[in-house]
Amino acid sequence: MRQIKIVVAGAAALALFAQAAAAQERVISTQTGRIKVETLTSDLTHPWGLAFLPDRHMLVTERPGRLRIVTPDGSVSQPLKGVPRVFASGQGGLLDVALDPNFASNRLVYLSYAEPGQGGASTAVARGRLSEDGLVEVKVIFSQQPKVTGGQHFGGRLVFARDGKLFITTGDRGKFDPAQDLSSHIGKIIRINPDGSAPRDNPFVNRKDAKAEIWSYGHRNAQGAALHPQTGVLWENEHGPRGGDEINIPEAGKNYGWPLVSWGNHYSGQPIAKPNTRPDLVDAIRQWTPVIAASGMAFYTGDAFRTWRGNLLVGGLTSRGIVRLTLDGPKVTGEERIGLGARVRDVRQGPDGAVYVLTDESDGKILRLSPA
The catalytic residue positions are 153
CA proximity to 136, closest of 106, 160, 164, 165: 106
Rg (CA), the chain: 20
Give the whole-angstrom CA distance, residue 122 versus residue 113.
Answer: 8
C-alpha distances (whole Å) from 1 to each of 17, 59, 82, 97 are 19, 15, 20, 20
For residue 14, give the H/E element and its range. helix 11-14
* Cα–Cα distance for residue pair 162/360, rounded to 1 Å: 30
Instruction: Please answer whether residues 93 and 152 qualify as being in contact, where contact means their C-beta atoms are separated by less than 8 angstroms.
Output: no
The Cα 325–Cα 316 span in angstroms is 13
Backbone φ and ψ of 141, nearest 5°: -105, -15
Q: Find all residues with CB under 8 Å of 306, minimum gap 6, and list them.
A: none
Which residue, among 44, 47, 49, 37, has the nearest Cα to 18 in the 3D structure? 44
Q: Tell me if residue 188 falls in helix, strand or coil.
A: strand
Residue in 280, 219, 217 with CA at minimum distance from that of residue 244 = 219
Contact 92, 151 (CB under 8 A): yes
CB atoms within 10 A of CB 25: 10
From 163, 320, 348, 362, select the one nearest 252 (Cα to Cα): 163
Torsion of CA 10, 74, 223, 327, to 10 degrees: 120
250: how many CB neighbours lie within 10 A of its CB?
A: 25
Nearest to 46 by CA among 62, 57, 60: 62
